[in-house]
Structure 1
Amino acid sequence: MWRIEEHRRIDKQVDAVPNEVLKRYEKWKDIALISGPPG
């Protein structure tokens, strides 16, 4: 399982991102958490 570390200003940066990009990013995080190596 991967641990994803986000930048501390991600909350401010997310506001400027289109919703489609945000959805893809959230989906990528879910996949990375599930499919990463066990640990």
Structure 2
Amino acid sequence: MFPPDLKHFLQPWELVLRMKMRNKWSERLLQYQKELL
């Protein structure tokens, strides 16, 4: 769908977004665990 160079440009952003999502999820899980304890 994208030309290769554009794909290379988009990839880091995708990684950053995924990392942010993962951080949010891990924070949620930690809060949830604390509430359970």
| TM-score between both structures, scaled by the size of structure 1 | 0.48
C-alpha distance in 1 between matches for 2:15 and 2:30: 23
Q: Aligned residue for 1:24?
A: 21
Partner of residue 35, structure 1: 32
TM-score by length of 2: 0.50
Tell me which residue corresponds to 2:8.
none
Higher relative contact order (CA 8 A, sep 6+): 1
Computed over aligned residues only, the root mean square deviation of the Cα atoms, in angstroms, reads: 1.5
In terms of fraction of residues, the more helix-rich structure is 2
% of aligned pairs identical?
18
